[in-house]
Amino acid sequence: MNDTPRQATRLEAIGGRFDPWLLGAMLALASLGVVMVASASIYQHGNPFYYLIRHGMFLGVGLGLAAWAMRTELKSIEHHNQLLLLACFVLLALVFVPGLGSSVNGARRWINLGVSKFQVVEAVKVLYIIWIASYLVRFRDEVSVTWQAMLKPVVVVGLLVGLLLLQPDFGSSMLLLSITACMLVLGGAPIKRIILPILLLLPALVALVVFEPYRMKRVTSFMDPWADQLGSGYQLSNALMAIGRGEWGGIGLGGSVLKLNYLPEVHTDFIFSVIGEELGFVGVCLVIALYALLVGRAFWVGLRCVEMRRHFAGYIAFGVALWVGVQSFVSMGVNLGLLPTKGLTLPLISSGGSSILMTCVAMGLLLRVSYELERTQRQVALRGEAVQGAGEAPRAPADPRPAPAASASVAAASLSQTLRGTSRLQPRIEPTFERLA
């Protein structure tokens, strides 16, 4: 009796499992975010629960989007990679459309959806990570050996950064550039080739800071915030005072003084300072540990995917890990006075509708990667057990007659095929488990 169809059905029926460490870190950060938004924003509006309710609504919608992403096959997402890249440019261009784009504090970064404003760069981060992951899968061998393949993503991100600087949004521009450089290295591009474009871009980035007065003020105030405590150093000096008041154990949840109209953007950009003041050194270490767990586990999942030849899934995990890692590092660094002031939220903790929604989508994609990794591992294990159980097929008796001599053309074709099989540019085949005939 032939068990092959039954075996194929069993392979297709196998499911995966969402990584419990990733899920636990995400839920812990999101829960802490709800608590800290409630504490930080209680005096920021006429209704003490205004920002908490708003944050809870966006978080609820975000969890729904995350659930959708967790149930979506990554192959179906990869199939639309070019459309996703086009969507990046369209979204960044929409902010300049009269009547649709919205300006806040001189920056034109939002589109007005009627019920709320949406910061388009948050969606661009997710879409761009998916596109560059797909690009590295399609050209991963070429990226490691040719300049042309490596420079294509550099040109794409350069165009995106150009649109971002018109808004202007210097922080998100640096974030996309950092993700691109790190993804290219993880995708196989030699580091020495990455250094050259960075060196060429560095003078332009320095010029953007030096010749823009408000950016230059941020750099100078970062170096000595106390020199102009009530002017350019106001945000950083108050953030440092809040963290200093927390000492080891904090002054208690809800007890922050600096959140009482002293520290600006207390529920978004500077929420980490409130954590430091109310929860102290212990709370700060807890937040850093949760981000380290989330980012480290995402890199581990991505590495396992690459080892299993699930490259697209692995590169998505790398991209999301880089996004969360770099953005959380910059946000915490700004609050601690380690970096110049920059308006980047703390992922999963800070209030902000666009940030919460798209971060939840990214977390859903990351959990889907872990699910498909577990599913692939189980399928491979089952196939191995089936092969071992079936044993070796009986060998046909040897033919005593000598084989006919191969012609020169056949030998040459065989040698050519062998050489192509060892080439670095030979396409690789991802493991699939199709129904056997």
Residue 36 near residue 393 (C-beta atoms within 8 A)? no
pLDDT of the residue at 320 = 97
Q: Does pLDDT of 193 surpass 90?
A: no
As a whole number, the mean pLDDT across the chain is 83
Q: Which string of b and e fits 266-305 if b means at least 16 CB within 10 Å? A: bbbbbbbbbbbbbbbeebbeebeebbebbbebbbbbbebb
pLDDT of the residue at 387 = 66
Q: Does pLDDT of 128 surpass 50?
A: yes
Per residue in 323-370, pLDDT tens? 999 999 999 999 998 888 877 889 999 988 899 999 999 999 999 999
pLDDT above 90 coverage of the chain, percent: 48
pLDDT of the residue at 217 = 79
Rounded CA separation 124/369 (Å): 20
Q: Does pLDDT of 249 surpass 50?
A: yes
pLDDT of the residue at 7 = 53
Q: Does pLDDT of 426 surpass 70?
A: no
pLDDT of the residue at 12 = 65
Least confident of 53-57, 187-191, 240-244, 428-432: 428-432
Rounded CA separation 377/231 (Å): 57
Q: Does pLDDT of 413 surpass 80?
A: no
pLDDT of the residue at 110 = 87
pLDDT of the residue at 1 = 47
Q: Does pLDDT of 44 surpass 90?
A: no
pLDDT of the residue at 225 = 84
For 75, 138, 409, the CA distances from 79, given in Å and listed in that order, are 6, 12, 40
Per residue in 258-274, pLDDT tens? 888 788 888 888 999 99
Higher pLDDT, 435 or 189: 189
pLDDT of the residue at 3 = 52
Q: Which string of b and e fits 340-349 if b means at least 16 CB within 10 Å? A: bbbbbbbbbb
Per residue in 327-340, pLDDT tens? 999 999 999 988 88
pLDDT-derived band at 6, boundaries 50, 70, 90: low
Kindly report the pTM of this predicted structure. Answer: 0.84
